[in-house]
Amino acid sequence: MTTLPVVLTQHPNISVDIVDLPDFKQAGVQLDLLRLDLVHPLISGNKWFKLKYAVEAVMASDCHRVLSFGGAWSNHIHALAYAGYEQGIETIGVIRGERPVRLSATLLDAERWGMTLEFVSRAQYRNKNEADFLAQLRDKYGSFHCLPEGGSGEWVVAGCREIFSLFNADQYDLICCACGTGGTLAGLIAAKPDGVELLGVSVLKGGEFLYEDIRNLLADSGVVDPDGWSLTLDCHEGGYARVSTELAVAMRHFTELSGIGLEPVYTGKAFLALQRKLKRGELPPGTRVMLIHTGGMQGLRGMQGLLSKKLP
């Protein structure tokens, strides 16, 4: 019998917040927010869904060691380290870049939860999917389950499709979320009701690769691409974790009026994409929009300085 991981067993009880922003209201557009950021204090947002079945598979196997990849402020590394700590799974985080003198708050947390950090140069990090590189890591650490960067492995579609069990998706015309690897969007696409459009907002420059990666994730899970989804590739604001003044101002506007915090790496950019669509008249009156807050607020600790510099 397989046991679901303790931290990931309870079905999350998540609220849908109505976001009363005057610009959306005046245009007759309803904007709601799915608060996945509240799903768990430490396995936040989409991570809860991404890790659920991956951790279950690890627990059901003989090898209770997981290795994964990320940057100094990675939400995935943070959530994985905590899930491993709670579950008695040994975790190894392969971190992009040399070990700094002072670790980021994210990596300090991860180490505190028992994760072993393996710092590799940016050049080595680019080989993260190569057999030779993984073989070297196996020589060093013994056997492990390898979870791809961002946690978008073979279980991501099964986990993320369950996001639809949290709200009535038929009540929306457009559902929007941020995309890094595209795993979360792939899960949503797999369970999308007919007539609902999905919009993924690439937070990376050059996000064209997402089309192929998402189609591959769907195919690997035996899902026939249902259409009715698209990507916005021009709201990355210069690239991953880059911030523009327009983004900083949009986030401040959102938070001042709704009382809900965003972070600029993911959900902030997804909101910006919706705001730009509204300004361009691409959301007709009567459109009902659900923005998915995919969490990651822990990463804000590394972005506050940049954000305030960008504010006029």
Ligand X SMILES: Cc1ncc(COP(=O)(O)O)c(C=O)c1O
CB of 179: closest distance to ligand X in angstroms? 4
Binding to ligand X (CB under 6 A) within 44-73 occurs at 45-46
Closer residue to ligand X (CB): 27 or 57: 57
Binding to ligand X (CB under 6 A) within 175-234 occurs at 178-185
Closer residue to ligand X (CB): 5 or 295: 295
Quote the CA–CA distance of 215 and 248 in Å, as a whole number. Answer: 32
Closest CA to 186 of 149, 212, 148: 212
Quote the CA–CA distance of 304 and 83 in Å, as a whole number. Answer: 26
Closer residue to ligand X (CB): 178 or 248: 178
Closer residue to ligand X (CB): 93 or 180: 180
Binding to ligand X (CB under 6 A) within 14-43 occurs at none
CB of 219: closest distance to ligand X in angstroms? 17
Closer residue to ligand X (CB): 68 or 152: 152
Closest CA to 34 of 149, 135, 194, 171: 171
CB of 76: closest distance to ligand X in angstroms? 5
Closer residue to ligand X (CB): 87 or 181: 181
Among 56, 90, 296, 310, binds ligand X (CB under 6 A): 296
Among 144, 254, 266, 271, binds ligand X (CB under 6 A): 266
Name the residue with tokens 């792939």: 186
Residue 153 found at the interface with ligand X (CB under 6 A): no
CB of 140: closest distance to ligand X in angstroms? 26
CB of 13: closest distance to ligand X in angstroms? 20
Site residues (vs ligand X, CB under 6 A):
45-46, 75-76, 150, 152, 178-185, 266, 294-296
